Amino acid sequence: MEIVLVEPEIPGNTGNIARLCAANHMTLHLVKPLGFKLEDKYLKRAGLDYWHLVDVQVHENLQEVYDKYPDRRYFYATTKAKHTYAEVKYEIGDMLVFGKETKGLPEELLAANYEQTIRIPMIEEARSLNLSNSVAIIAYEAMRQLNFPDLKNLGHLTMKGGN
């Protein structure tokens, strides 16, 4: 599973997503322009000391991602999709694509890939969820379906006290 952020604007969100990617062995793709510098203190703080655990790739544009990974499946997160994220049967190597915090993904991109768009259900009055929360919701569903690949230490967790 790989995460693609198209033109992210808020360093704290990207830092949180980087930490999620590090903890789950996912590559994080950042598509320019970025709303911050990679040296930003808020970005670094949100990612804590996990930066050495995450593969961050920076791309000039989305076409560069497509060219580098032509055989991958891409799913585009948007509030405008007819299918929910839980309806997808995810596969190893899928690319989960998210747009910038203020505008989401471009309308023409969504229209061209409508059958691959996915949404998180929410009430009509809510415009959207926080970007890092949205990434976590969808990424963990994908990993759950795949039985949490690369996370070998799940068996060490046990309940104490008979609960």
Q: Which residues are annotated as a binding site for S-adenosyl-L-methionine?
A: 99, 120, 128
Nearest Cα residue to 9 out of 129, 138, 131: 131
Which residues pair with residue 6 across a beta bridge?
31
Backbone angles phi, psi at 30, to 5 degrees: -110, 125
**Pair of tokens at residue 23:** 């903890």
Q: In whole angstroms, what is the distance from residue 24 CA to residue 9 CA?
A: 23
Element housing 6 (H / E): strand 2-6
Q: In whole angstroms, what is the distance from residue 142 CA to residue 91 CA?
A: 8
Annotated binding site: 99, 120, 128
Q: Which residues contact 57 (CB under 8 A, 6 or more apart)?
A: 27, 28, 29, 30
